[in-house]
A and B are shown apart, each in its own frame.
Chain A
Amino acid sequence: MSKYDVVIGLEVHVQVRTDSKMFCSCPNRFGQEPNTMVCPVCMGLPGVMPYPNREAVRKTVMAGLMCGCEIAKFSKFDRKSYFYPDMPKNYQISQYDLPLCGKGKLHVCGKGFSGAELPDKSIGITRIHLEEDVGKLNHFAGYSGIDFNRAGVPLMEIVSEPDMSSADEAYAYLTSLKQIMQYADISDCDMEKGQMRCDVNISLKLAGAKEFGTKVEIKNLNSFRSAHRSIEHEIIRQAEVLDAGGKITQETRGWTDDRGETYLLRSKESAHDYRYFPEPDLLPMTFSDEDIAKIKSQLPELPEQKRERFVATLGLTPYDAQVLTLDKTLSDYFDEGAKLAKSPKMLANWIITELLRELNDRNIPFENNPVPVSHLVELVELVSGGTITGKSAKEVFSELFAGGKTPKQIVSEKGLVQISDDSAIEKFVITAIEQNPTQVKQYKEGKTAVMQFFVGQVMKQSKGKANPQIVNKLLREKLDQC
């Protein structure tokens, strides 16, 4: 048992996927030329006013409902003031004391980043609020530039309770959160594009102690991996300080990926006073029970519910269900195929062992998967129905990646239909025996392992099309007669 308990809470920022920005009609689009997705409003020019994006509000409420949050009947925006060049108005429109979503919880399970199996656990959600993203600073030699394309993009902040006790749990929480956002079409959560960012609050206390230790915040972690690594690093750093009789000071730290270290950004003394006050340019938002019920009725199946269904009604193992629900597109793919397949379990095996491996080898992201699920189902049926052998199936499968043809077309073009005719196979068996007297002798001497050698010979002659059961049966008969 370790000397310290680790207490972790996460603040996760997720960009909401909408057509336009939070408070103006500029497109919410990534990867454009700097300062091309801007207007007087998101540039904070003199005289402009914000106009709220209803879709962003709806999606935030949806995120709250997906996390079992209480939805506020009355909510408002506030101004958060601080000076920084990436913020056009030098205040950010955010939400302070009346966020759109209150308390909720998120179920996490499965494996952590280290691969360790985690116990099922509920992580409390403190709140989810909606705000506007800021611009991006680009530093050049001797000067800096500001790109305001991102300024005003709707951004959710999801604050968790300090319910996590390891880097693996934090990783699993982030994974679950990302899943939910993708499932409900709230965000793509592409971390490379900055659509999901994470701050970690972490403290250590003596094992079993009631009171929390002093917490340290690690800011701006832009991958799950760096979140995991920074937590592991910070646990060691804090433990070393405490072991040496030192005290942890409340502070904000940054993370350098290349050095694998956290470093001091600012101490508590230099913390900002954000001077929050209600945004006078926007009216408060009110939601009736009917409004909330309407959004509730549009909720998609949760990943957790999907996993349970896959196990209970489709006969998958919990592990298979976990793998197939990791990604929304993947789970939709399987779900669609399961409706067509006689054996969803076999389809699952094919997706996990063949399709995902092949995509991975070819470095193709799942959304670009070229194999229609109907083709994969057809292939599985060809195998299970005995039309082709497992070996031929693999050949067909790699053909499927080329696209266009159905498995049946490929099978007939390549003449891969399985040979189950005894007399045809008997000819291959006799040839194999006649051509290999040495191995026959070995067999007779009791070295039954050479059986595999004969199977291989027959398969080679039949170009892999001979029915393996019949091959085995006939070989045994003939060899025993020798």
Chain B
Amino acid sequence: MSISVENLTIHESASLLADKKISSVELCKAYVDRARKLEPKIKAFLKLNEEEIFSQAKASDERRVSGKSLSPYDGVPVAIKDNITVKGQSCTCASKILEGLNSPYDATVIKKLKEKGFVLYGRTNMDEFAMGSSCENSSFQKTANPWDTNCVPGGSSGGSAASVAAGEVTAALGSDTGGSIRQPASLCGVVGFKPTYGRISRYGLIAFASSLDQIGPITRDVEDAAILTDAMYGRDSMDATSLPSTNESFAEGLGSLKDLKGVRIGLPKECFEVEGLDAGVRKIMDKSIQVFKDLGAEMVQVSLPHSKYAVATYYVIATAEASANLARFDGIRYGKRVKTDGLLETYLETRGAGFGDEVKRRIILGTFVLSSGYYDAYYTKGQKVRTLIRKDFQEAYRKCDVVLTPVSPTTAFKFNEKSDPLQMYLADIFTISTNLAGICGISVPADVHENGLPVGIQLVGPDMGEKQLLRISHIFERNRPRKEFIPGI
């Protein structure tokens, strides 16, 4: 049987599988066929191993036939960003320095997805070590936006966002350090969710900036985001920073809100004063605000006075952590090694050849801000501002339940359009504060811009406020200005 999979969600697939209208092998086959057709243009995947996919799908179908399905989602494929380890698979972070290395262990999220029977479906492209906002920093290939292949998909989880948007897979995992899930989701017209810091174990996520990194789902709708979060969140003994399990289901009762009466949505005045906020994006924000008002929500103005320092603060803290996190890639124990005579030369040549320009730039920046004599002026000050940014949000949540902002100041931009790194850094201006504050944020598609590209809105919730955040996102999704987000590819 031939089916059209490009718009299928996890929950719809689960019904089809349960009703025996489709098997996991058929489902995966349809995706693989579609991927084979589209990949030459989209290039979302670094690796798509059919053999591995079909052996998992086959095992899933056998479980289902014998009534031993591991969950309702047993057999549904999920693509994995190439910075999350799967035992026996490569995990390059789109960097030459990790070429040829197979991971000997599963990340905790992978272990959990396997326990639910999800099919691990290929590894998606990204900016090298998750450093970038366009996927252009991948050492291997440039992923295109399914809505306009002359445009970037956003980043760093650009491969994950593009693969879901193009209908090459049902859903994907991404990681978000300063907006790396939410920004590409917005630019590709899909949902991207970054839970509270520590909600989902980072064990097996190759670290960029440990105090900011968070794994999350990129999906076709909010319900799928809730389903994957349910499957992955909770305390992990391998991650000392993981939060205690709260034994709640985000998917259950997701659609229980009939309207938004009594819900207060905060509008940070600073967000709408940002230089470079595209007029069309602004218009979609206004239309979205109207949707919330029509649903009965109360719109309240809040202030995040320190958010203007967020990008600068981020590039101090994130690079400082990255400079240490990436120190282990030295060619001594694994990965690429450039052979030379001396130890120092080996380090220099290996790292010189293995890392791309943006990664080198950030390692240098991070090494500098931690150096003796500069530490207080940069790192200590950055941590202080970070605390102030967190306090801004705490203050705001006295007045509102969630905060509403744009995700990105513009729609997807063209390849090479932002050749100045600083211009690229500003693409994350609305998303970075969420990571610095450690709270949860989601990008939900809202409308399509006059230029034909999708635009999402961002809703930001307090610590552990996922349940309410997802419910509000879900009702918005049902009432948003545009119903369908299907790229013209």
Give the interface of A toward B (CB within 8 A): 40, 43-52, 79, 81, 83, 85, 88-91, 146, 273, 275-277, 280-283
Any chain A CB within 8 A of the CB of B451? no
The number of inter-chain residue pairs (CB within 8 angstroms) is 100
Chain A nearest CB, measured from B434 CB (Å) = 17
CB-defined contacts of B347 to chain A, threshold 8 Å: 83
CB-defined contacts of B324 to chain A, threshold 8 Å: 79, 81, 89-91, 275, 277
A-B pairs with the 4 shortest C-beta distances? A90-B327, A280-B210, A275-B370, A280-B211
CB atoms of A49 and B238 under 8 A apart: yes
CB atoms of A47 and B241 under 8 A apart: no
Given A280-B210, A281-B210, residue A46 in contact with residue B328 (CB < 8 A): yes
Given A81-B324, A280-B210, residue A273 in contact with residue B372 (CB < 8 A): yes
Any chain A CB within 8 A of the CB of B91? yes
Chain B interface residue count, Cβ-Cβ cutoff 8 angstroms: 44
Q: Mark B342-358, 1 if CB is under 8 A from A, else 0.
A: 01000100000000000
CB atoms of B203 and A48 under 8 A apart: yes
Q: Roughly how many angstroms separate A81 CA and B239 CA in the complex, as a whole number?
A: 21
CB atoms of A47 and B205 under 8 A apart: yes
CB atoms of A51 and B238 under 8 A apart: yes
Q: Roughly how many angstroms separate A464 CA and B329 CA in the complex, as a whole number?
A: 77
Q: Roughly how many angstroms separate A79 CA and B207 CA in the complex, as a whole number?
A: 15
Q: Roughly how many angstroms separate A50 CA and B239 CA in the complex, as a whole number?
A: 7
Specify which of A49, A52, A83 lies most central, judged by the most chain B CB atoms within 10 Å of its CB: A49
CB atoms of B328 and A88 under 8 A apart: yes
7 further A-B contacts with Cβ under 8 Å, apart from A47-B84, A83-B330, are A47-B206, A48-B204, A88-B333, A275-B324, A280-B321, A281-B239, A283-B240
26 A–B contacts, CB within 8 A, in A order: A40-B105, A45-B103, A46-B101, A46-B329, A46-B334, A47-B204, A47-B205, A47-B206, A49-B238, A49-B239, A49-B241, A50-B240, A81-B327, A81-B370, A85-B330, A85-B332, A88-B328, A89-B327, A91-B324, A91-B327, A273-B371, A273-B372, A277-B370, A277-B375, A280-B210, A280-B321
CB-defined contacts of A40 to chain B, threshold 8 Å: 104-105
Chain A nearest CB, measured from B422 CB (Å) = 24
CB atoms of A44 and B367 under 8 A apart: no
CB atoms of A45 and B371 under 8 A apart: no
Specify which of A45, A146, A275, A283 lies most central, judged by the most chain B CB atoms within 10 Å of its CB: A275
Any chain A CB within 8 A of the CB of B85? yes
Chain B nearest CB, measured from A79 CB (Å) = 5
Any chain A CB within 8 A of the CB of B202? yes
CB atoms of B205 and A51 under 8 A apart: no
Closest-by-CB residue of B relative to A44 is B328
CB atoms of A47 and B103 under 8 A apart: yes
Chain A nearest CB, measured from B317 CB (Å) = 9
Any chain A CB within 8 A of the CB of B98? yes
Q: Roughly how many angstroms separate A246 CA and B346 CA in the complex, as a whole number?
A: 39
CB-defined contacts of B370 to chain A, threshold 8 Å: 81, 275-277
Q: Mark B52-87, 1 if CB is under 8 A from A, else 0.
A: 000000000000000000000000000000011100
Specify which of A45, A47, A83 lies most central, judged by the most chain B CB atoms within 10 Å of its CB: A47
CB-defined contacts of B323 to chain A, threshold 8 Å: 81, 275
Q: Roughly how many angstroms separate A83 CA and B330 CA in the complex, as a whole number?
A: 9
CB-defined contacts of B202 to chain A, threshold 8 Å: 49
CB-defined contacts of A88 to chain B, threshold 8 Å: 328, 333
Q: Roughly how many angstroms separate A45 CA and B334 CA in the complex, as a whole number?
A: 8
Q: Roughly how many angstroms separate A89 CA and B367 CA in the complex, as a whole number?
A: 15
Closest-by-CB residue of A relative to B213 is A280
CB atoms of A47 and B327 under 8 A apart: no
Any chain A CB within 8 A of the CB of B107? yes
Closest-by-CB residue of A relative to B346 is A85
Any chain A CB within 8 A of the CB of B320? yes
CB atoms of B332 and A47 under 8 A apart: no
Specify which of B103, B334, B370, B375 lies most central, judged by the most chain A CB atoms within 10 Å of its CB: B370
Any chain A CB within 8 A of the CB of B237? yes
Question: Within the complex, which residue of B85, B103, B104, B320 is in contact with A277, where a contact is CB–CB below 8 Å?
Answer: B320
Q: Roughly how many angstroms separate A52 CA and B327 CA in the complex, as a whole number?
A: 21
CB atoms of B327 and A282 under 8 A apart: no
CB under 8 Å from chain A, chain B span 104-121 = 104-105, 107
Any chain A CB within 8 A of the CB of B292? no
Q: Roughly how many angstroms separate A471 CA and B201 CA in the complex, as a whole number?
A: 86
Closest-by-CB residue of A relative to B373 is A273
Q: Roughly how many angstroms separate A40 CA and B239 CA in the complex, as a whole number?
A: 14
Q: Roughly how many angstroms separate A447 CA and B410 CA in the complex, as a whole number?
A: 121
Closest-by-CB residue of B relative to A51 is B240
CB atoms of A43 and B333 under 8 A apart: yes
Q: Roughly how many angstroms separate A199 CA and B248 CA in the complex, as a whole number?
A: 53
Closest-by-CB residue of B relative to A43 is B333
Q: Mark B219-260, 1 if CB is under 8 A from A, else 0.
A: 000000000000000000111110000000000000000000
CB-defined contacts of B367 to chain A, threshold 8 Å: 275
Closest-by-CB residue of B relative to A24 is B238
Q: Roughly how many angstroms separate A40 CA and B105 CA in the complex, as a whole number?
A: 8
CB atoms of A281 and B205 under 8 A apart: no
Closest-by-CB residue of A relative to B106 is A47
Any chain A CB within 8 A of the CB of B45? no
CB-defined contacts of A43 to chain B, threshold 8 Å: 333
CB atoms of B241 and A282 under 8 A apart: yes
CB-defined contacts of B104 to chain A, threshold 8 Å: 40, 45
Q: Roughly how many angstroms separate A83 CA and B329 CA in the complex, as a whole number?
A: 11
Closest-by-CB residue of B relative to A282 is B240
CB-defined contacts of A281 to chain B, threshold 8 Å: 207, 210, 239-241
Question: Within the complex, which residue of A79, A90, A275 is in contact with B330, where a contact is CB–CB below 8 Å?
Answer: A90
CB atoms of B204 and A51 under 8 A apart: no
CB-defined contacts of B205 to chain A, threshold 8 Å: 47
CB-defined contacts of B375 to chain A, threshold 8 Å: 275, 277
Chain A nearest CB, measured from B437 CB (Å) = 15
Chain A nearest CB, measured from B318 CB (Å) = 10
CB-defined contacts of B91 to chain A, threshold 8 Å: 46-47
Any chain A CB within 8 A of the CB of B31? no
Chain A nearest CB, measured from B293 CB (Å) = 40
CB-defined contacts of B210 to chain A, threshold 8 Å: 280-281
CB-defined contacts of B107 to chain A, threshold 8 Å: 47
CB-defined contacts of A90 to chain B, threshold 8 Å: 324, 327-328, 330
CB atoms of B103 and A49 under 8 A apart: no
CB atoms of A46 and B372 under 8 A apart: no
Chain B nearest CB, measured from A426 CB (Å) = 83
Chain B nearest CB, measured from A300 CB (Å) = 30
Any chain A CB within 8 A of the CB of B379? yes
Closest-by-CB residue of A relative to B321 is A280
Q: Roughly how many angstroms separate A79 CA and B237 CA in the complex, as a whole number?
A: 21
Q: Roughly how many angstroms separate A267 CA and B367 CA in the complex, as a whole number?
A: 22
CB atoms of A47 and B240 under 8 A apart: no
Question: Within the complex, which residue of A44, A47, A50 is in contact with B333, where a contact is CB–CB below 8 Å?
Answer: A44
Chain B nearest CB, measured from A281 CB (Å) = 5
Chain B nearest CB, measured from A274 CB (Å) = 8
CB-defined contacts of B98 to chain A, threshold 8 Å: 46
Chain B nearest CB, measured from A263 CB (Å) = 20
Q: Roughly how many angstroms separate A43 CA and B320 CA in the complex, as a whole number?
A: 22
Q: Roughly how many angstroms separate A88 CA and B239 CA in the complex, as a whole number?
A: 19
CB under 8 Å from chain A, chain B span 342-401 = 343, 347, 367, 370-372, 375, 379
Q: Roughly how many angstroms separate A146 CA and B330 CA in the complex, as a whole number?
A: 14
CB-defined contacts of A51 to chain B, threshold 8 Å: 237-240
Chain A nearest CB, measured from B322 CB (Å) = 11
Closest-by-CB residue of B relative to A79 is B324
CB atoms of A275 and B211 under 8 A apart: no
Chain A nearest CB, measured from B241 CB (Å) = 6
CB atoms of B240 and A46 under 8 A apart: no
Given A88-B333, A89-B328, A277-B320, residue A46 in contact with residue B103 (CB < 8 A): yes
CB-defined contacts of B105 to chain A, threshold 8 Å: 40, 45, 47-48
CB-defined contacts of B237 to chain A, threshold 8 Å: 51
Closest-by-CB residue of A relative to B239 is A49
Q: Roughly how many angstroms separate A341 CA and B440 CA in the complex, as a whole number?
A: 71
Q: Roughly how many angstroms separate A322 CA and B367 CA in the complex, as a whole number?
A: 52
Given A40-B104, A90-B328, A90-B330, residue A47 in contact with residue B343 (CB < 8 A): no
Q: Roughly how many angstroms separate A83 CA and B347 CA in the complex, as a whole number?
A: 9
